Structure 1
């Protein structure tokens, strides 16, 4: 979100003030602008949103009835302005401009979920309340789950997505839902109900939630994948594959089997290094010839490079390669893997290892030298 740091600027604050100034509730515009814009340049994106939230808290009516009326009146007239997420013309809160309000609804309404949750439902149609709803799942878990259960069939795609995205156990940048990390059973019915949603936007959220769950319960997600893939549509198959992306990359046996990637009996692999010595900035090149005593078999071919670490040890990094079929029991492929400067890795010279996997099973290794 760093590239959007300056989104919350003086102009946005003035437009926000205009919206509430013409609203039905009492509002101290001048005081709000002063508080919201104080030392703005030194703040990061989230800090700016929080400062605007506190400024609204101090200048909007304290009573929840008047506050609710003011919030509803401030929202963009369209219930689905998502395509304009970074555009804010001041006609009504939408996109990132509505972020401070989602936080304020939680700040004021956490002790009154019966009032706050319906308000978040309206705001999420203009900007996601996936972060704002999470404290309610911690403080009022059962009640919030019962409310979300009534939203899985809502006509708004944003509300339906809030059900799956707001309950993700490990939502990036969001409050971790430790209870669901330990036991995701309470949210699984939501994911099942939304798996065939007509909107890809919602289905991808379901997939991301399952991917979260897979980090702690891989066998559970493998079983879900096996069940959901039975007579699955193209869209559901894509969802399940996206949900299992981490497990497939890791070569998790039960997940691979759910997709039909079983160990192939009698399979052999000749792995040849075309560049046994690699100069930093160039590329590792290799060829694999895979054979098996079967005419056709689905194979997922991955490889790992065991990179040398600062202490002289090695650590593997897995890379996707091919998803294919052994035609006539044979597959030949070459690969060029660039070894060049990247921000996420520091390279060390010395002996590295290349390892090849077919359907999650290690089938060949070869050593190469990296020269820096």
Structure 2
């Protein structure tokens, strides 16, 4: 339902197109005149067309390695001089990938390089290789990064140590026991940078997927009068809030089980084609004698070939006065995007208030020549 345009995936995949590779080659020659631009271009463009974005990023790193000095100590200064000239953050991640692939035997130099390179293209993927190879040593360095003056370095401390970082492999030891990253999160719990705060919230949300009690206990001990900390806590608890976890709901100030009546809940139109727009509406009236803080969400049961897949979306947080009535609505286009492909069939939609399902509706989706049931 809600999502990104299907056109974004090809555009993302084409970040490493021939023009950008030629730019990398020119800039590399600019900082290291001995660079073999022709050989690099041949190596970096010889991969199959169906390579994904991360595979293409790695191909750039391996192609640079084939044309760089064999001595890692001589190659790293080239990467560090090249980084500010790349001019594109995701492209610059290939430089950190180089360090992850070829710097394992040069721990101190490699981590110094990742700390610098992350300012131009995040080293979040690269640092995970060092966490796997030498966890205690790496996490010790990352705890120091949490106090750095640069927001990119502070974010790396949190993002690189996320147990379930998207687009990367999971850190199984941190999924089993997230406590080693506690000092990092505590150091960043009131960070002035939104860029850092988003990472901290996502890191905590990762923890909550496996250890909800640990997440709630950690953030409940934080001083939430600080606006930055309060923001992190709210976003860190989002998955638990959608599940109706009573402790998580209490931490953001909700009033427990909602005392409301649903006067109307509908999804229109009832039958649509892929690419059409739907509107979900709800009308609630308070049945309480006191004001209520309510979290209103909705869940879609997506039709799948082997059943249904439920996903919860945020609708609105409201303060509802005694006996008051509120009308809510949200519109969106139903279309395929990178992380979700739709199937024809009936899609049940639930209204959730403070985590409890209070009403149901739905819509029939038709795709191509398929017939909805």
Tell me, yes or no, whether TM beats 0.5: yes
Within 5 Å, give how 1:262-341 maps onto structure 2: 262-264=255-257, 267-272=259-264, 278-280=270-272, 287-304=282-299, 316-333=310-327, 335=329
Q: Contact conserved, 1:25 with 1:66, CA < 8 A, in 2?
A: no
Structure 2 SS opposite 1:300: strand
- Specify the alignment match of 2:130 in structure 1: 136
For 1:163 and 1:262, the matched residues in 2 are separated by: 35
- Specify the alignment match of 1:257 in structure 2: 250
For 1:140 and 1:37, the matched residues in 2 are separated by: 34
- Specify the alignment match of 1:222 in structure 2: 216
Q: Of the two structures, which has the highest relative contact order with CA contacts closer than 8 Å and spacing of 6 or more?
A: 2
**What's the CA shift for 1:188?**
1.8
Structure 1 SS opposite 2:92: helix
Deviates more, 1:314-323 or 1:208-217: 314-323
Within 5 Å, give how 1:186-265 maps onto structure 2: 186-228=180-222, 230-264=223-257
For 1:342 and 1:95, the matched residues in 2 are separated by: 27
**What's the CA shift for 1:108?**
1.2
What is the alpha-carbon root mean square deviation over aligned residues?
A: 3.3
**Structure 1 residues 242 and 275 mapped into 2: Cα distance closer, same or farther (>3 Å)?**
closer
For 1:111 and 1:181, the matched residues in 2 are separated by: 26
**What's the CA shift for 1:327?**
1.0
What's the TM-score, normalizing by structure 1? 0.81
Within 5 Å, give how 1:104-143 maps onto structure 2: 104-143=98-137
Q: Where does the alignment leave 5 or more consecutive residues of structure 1 unmatched?
A: 77-90
Structure 2 SS opposite 1:198: coil
Which deviations, in whole Å up to 9, do the C-alpha atoms of 1:48-70 show, x marking residues without a partner? 33222222212211123212232
Which deviations, in whole Å up to 9, do the C-alpha atoms of 1:3-56 show, x marking residues without a partner? 133332334333333333344585444433332333575644333332222222
Which deviations, in whole Å up to 9, do the C-alpha atoms of 1:52-105 show, x marking residues without a partner? 2222212211123212232233332xxxxxxxxxxxxxx457533423221111
Structure 2 SS opposite 1:215: helix
For 2:179 and 2:28, the matched residues in 1 are separated by: 42
For 2:359 and 2:15, the matched residues in 1 are separated by: 50
For 1:35 and 1:150, the matched residues in 2 are separated by: 38
Q: Contact conserved, 1:251 with 1:359, CA < 8 A, in 2?
A: yes
For 1:42 and 1:293, the matched residues in 2 are separated by: 58
Q: Where does the alignment leave 5 or more consecutive residues of structure 2 unmatched?
A: 1-8, 365-371
